Structure 1
Amino acid sequence: MKKQELIHLHGLLAEVRKHHEARTGTSVEYESYESLGVRPTSIHKSKTDHKAAVFALADGITADMRHSEETETVPAAAD
């Protein structure tokens, strides 16, 4: 994958994060992502930096979605 494609994917994942936070009404902490200091607008950062950011952001989003699914209450079935 080219650097430009990684930056685009990084931007898309950042939008998914915003959408997920808006949908759930929470602000999720992504410590491993935040510690990298790489944003989709950081075009001066290396391809490797963006790749690490994409993986960290994707891991954080999926972990939070998994946690949200596990803690959702399932309505009782009507008999």
Structure 2
Amino acid sequence: MLMKKQELIHLHGLLAEVGNHFEEKTGEPITLDEYESLGVRPTSIHRSKTDHKAAVFALSNAITTEMRVTEREVVAPQAD
């Protein structure tokens, strides 16, 4: 099933909230270079469905990458 633009915008907003929540809980910022380079935010309703789809993929990739890094640090903390 294909998502409608409205659904992608909603998912985009939810992912942004997940990212914010993760940063608050871990105290670590998420590297969002690729996402930010797109210049598409959940509030950018005038942007195309394709733009929001690219933003959703970039944001979800950034969040999951940071989760993996954080998980590795918790499982096997680095020695100082």
Settle same-fold status: TM greater than 0.5.
Answer: yes
- Gaps of at least 5 residues in structure 1 are 75-79
2:54 — aligned with what? 52
- Gaps of at least 5 residues in structure 2 are none
| Matches for 1:27-38 after TM superposition, within 5 Å | 27-38=29-40
1:43 — aligned with what? 45
2:27 — aligned with what? 25
Please identify runs of 4+ aligned residues in structure 1 that moved more than 4 A: none
Give how far 1:27 is off. Answer: 1.7
Q: TM-score with structure 1 length normalisation?
A: 0.90
Letter in 1 for 2:61: D
Greater Rg over alpha carbons, structure: 1
Q: Which moved more, 1:22-31 or 1:34-43?
A: 22-31
1:13 — aligned with what? 15
% identical equivalent positions? 66
What CA deviation, in whole Å up to 9, does each residue of 1:18-53 have, x standing for no partner?
A: 000000012222100000000000000000000000
Distance in 2 between the 1:16 and 1:73 partners? 22
How many equivalent pairs are there?
74
